[in-house]
Structure formats: C-alpha cells, structure tokens
Structure 1
C-alpha cells in the first residue's frame, strides 16, 4: 500500500478571535500548493483516494490537484496518528491514499511507521512524504519511496 502524507502549504497566522480552522493560505502557500499539485498529478495513479482535513488551509492546498477528495474530521489539527492510519486503512488498503493534513500529526505518522516509535518528526509546509509497504503483514517491506518539496519541482 502507498501512503502519501502531504502537509498543507503556508498559511496566514490566526487573527485575534479567528478560529484556527479558518486560516487561509498565503500567496506563497497558494504557489506551493499549485507546484506540489502539479507534481502529484504526474505521480499519483487515478485510483488514489484523497483524504483531507476539514481546515480551510488543507482544502485550499488540495484544490489545485483538481481531483475528488473526502473531508475526514479525524484529520483535523491535533489528530492522533492512529486515527490517520485508520482513516487510510493502513496497511490493508488496496489503493494508494493521499492524506492532506497538519503537523505534528503527519510527522508523528511518518515516525511511527518508519521507526516504530512515537516521535515528533518535522514535515515542512507543503512537503509530501511517500511511504510504501509492499506486504500488509510484513512491516519489513515498508520503505520511504520519496520526499518532495515544492521548491524542488522544476517547471
């Protein structure tokens, strides 16, 4: 199973009294989202399921991908890494899953899968980490296929 973790692009800081869920992308974040969406479009199979946090910044991040996606409330800021894995049906899913979410949760998911330990790994804004587990029952078949940053994408 392929699991792609895509952290939302750069967002504005919360204004006084503003709900964190309503933070929008900055112009830089919009550019990051477009660049990463272009790269993901060229890499993701058509069968990929896309799961997105309900936060505005994640919705704006996935929008340039121009694919159907499902909003999953268990991916909201502060989500538990286990909830992310359950939503993705890891490692038993048949199709690749792209999760668009937040820190520290996505870094915790990557750390848990790759090291077996709950740790706070950093996934930078707008970056995507692509993990693959060839056999659902064989944790030794897990590997990190790639990490991509929007500033590495050549147009």
Structure 2
C-alpha cells in the first residue's frame, strides 16, 4: 500500500474568520497553491485508488482540487479519521480495511498527519514530522500497515511540488513543439 498524506492548503486565518472552525475555507492563494502542488503530485505518476479527506471545508476543498488534477475518476470521501483531533491509530485502522495494493490519498491537518507519519515510521507518536500547507509525503507498506513497519518513499514541501509540476509542464510543452 502507498499512502499519500497531504496537508490542506492555505486557509483564512482563524482570527479573520467569524464562522465555525470546521467551515474555515481556503484563500484564493491557497486554492492556487493546492492546484500547483497537485500538478507536482500528478507528475509523480501515482495511480490513486482512494481519496479520503477530513470533513473540514479547507481539507475537503483541497481534496476536490486534487481530484480534478490527479484522479478525476475517484470520489472524494470524507472521513472522521482525518478530522482535527483524530488519533493517528484511527487512520491506520482505516487504512488496514483497504486492499494491500491500494494507493490512498489522505487530506488532513497538522499535527495529525505528522503524528501518523511518526507512528508508521518510528513506532510512536512524535512531533518530528510537521507538514507545510499543501505539502505531501508518501508512505509505503507491505500488507497490513503496522507502526514502525512502513517506509518513507518521498516527502515534498509545497515549493518542491510546485517546481516539479512546473518542470513537468515545461517538458510537455517542449515535446509538443
């Protein structure tokens, strides 16, 4: 299984938002950056079989943008296992219900995403793996996902994803010229 963990894009700051926290949306810049990062993820040629997201608006909107660019045939599925406050073990349990050859995109929040990576790579929850907004990591595991048994395939901050996407677009333009 490959699990691609992605943090939601830049959202309106909490002190600038009067609504409920779960309804805080992406900014226009956040939407643009997510789309650019999604092009970078698409360049990595992953073939997602599932697209899960936190039910919070900023994560759901990030997942919708990813779906458009990376995996248009998939349905965006909201999962409480990715909501703010969810325990890393909850997401691991969800992943273990899927076929072992799945490629899963999970859109969520910090610190939960970093805690999931820590649990899978190190066997315990540590604050050592922070995700930037629109940043992503791919964790791979064989068979059932167990703490301390997974491997890090790649970890890309949003700037690197944007550069990768831009480079790929440029190469495609050069090929068609």
TM-score after normalising by structure 1: 0.87
2:84 counterpart residue number: 77
2:121, 2:3 → 1: CA distance? 12
1:139, 1:109 → 2: CA distance? 9
1:106 counterpart residue number: 113
2:159 counterpart residue number: 151
- Extract unaligned runs of 5+ from structure 1: none
- Extract unaligned runs of 5+ from structure 2: 167-177
Q: Is the 8 A contact 2:134 2:157 kept in 1?
A: yes
Q: Is the 8 A contact 1:126 1:149 kept in 2?
A: yes
Deviation at 1:7, TM superposition (A): 0.5
Per-residue CA distance 1:32-91 (angstroms, 9 max, x = gap) = 21012112233221x521111111101111122223221112321111111111222278
2:26 counterpart residue number: 25
| TM-aligned CA distance change 1:51 to 1:18, over 3 Å | same
Q: Larger % of helix: which?
A: 2
Q: Is the 8 A contact 1:133 1:139 kept in 2?
A: no
Deviation at 1:24, TM superposition (A): 0.9
Check if 1:44 corresponds to 2:46. Answer: yes
Q: Is the 8 A contact 2:7 2:107 kept in 1?
A: yes
Aligned residue pairs total 154
Deviates more, 1:75-84 or 1:127-136: 127-136
Q: Is the 8 A contact 1:10 1:126 kept in 2?
A: yes
1:59 counterpart residue number: 60
Question: Cα RMSD (Å) of the superposition?
Answer: 2.2
Q: Is the 8 A contact 1:91 1:133 kept in 2?
A: no
**Structure of higher CA gyration radius:** 2
1:7, 1:35 → 2: CA distance? 14
| TM-aligned CA distance change 1:28 to 1:17, over 3 Å | closer
Deviation at 1:10, TM superposition (A): 1.0
TM-score after normalising by structure 2: 0.77
